[in-house]
Amino acid sequence: MQVFFGIILLSIPACEMFTTRDPEPPSTGKSSFVPPTEPNIVIENFKNSLLEKNADNYIACFADSTKQSKSGFYFYPSGSAIASFPSVFEYWALDSERRYFNSMIRYLTGELSIVLSLSNGKMDYVSPDSTLYVADYILQVPHNLTDLPKEYRGYLQFTLAKQRDGLWNISRWFDNNPKMIDTANATWSLLKARLSN
């Protein structure tokens, strides 16, 4: 009889081994980042960082003078945005990019993703260590703010530079108002200005 109760007592704690437990949250977000050994990979990484809402991958697309970059990153806002928010863009840097990006992610509605559509994209002025990428863009941001557009349009120019480590990134970003005269002036720069703090 004592042996029987001993077996029962030993089996009670063992039952916990077979119970399910809540899964641990993932340590990192989704990432499809590829080492940018070619300029076109930078563009894909850039688009994917928005779609995946990955701030680290987004920032990794830009030149960082504290790392392997030959020069720092510079952003040149659209004319309409600089006229409305001159002080915001006076000292725009990588920290500003990260702040705006994290703010944008914070205001997204549910699990919806940011979608960047590029059209008429082409690489111009290709050289061994730099190239110019130009494209029309439509950026759709499904945020929950009532006083901010959800769609942005414009024309972007990226100067892509090859860095000391052989990888490419964006050293200059020029945001321009849309070419279409009847298109609203909601450029990417407007989004950055409104979400920069």
pLDDT at 125: 81
Decide the pairing of beta strands 151-162 and 168-176: antiparallel
Tens digits of residue pLDDT in 102-127 = 999 999 988 899 999 999 999 988 78
| Domains, the chain, ordered by start | 34-194 (3.10.450.50)
Q: Tally Cβ neighbours within 10 Å of residue 110.
A: 6
Helix (H) or strand (E) run with residue 156 in it: strand 151-162
Confidence of residue 184 (pLDDT cuts 50, 70, 90): low
Share of the chain above pLDDT 70, in %: 81
- Between 77 and 5, where is the model more confident? 77
- Give the lowest-confidence range in 24-28, 56-60, 91-95, 133-137: 24-28
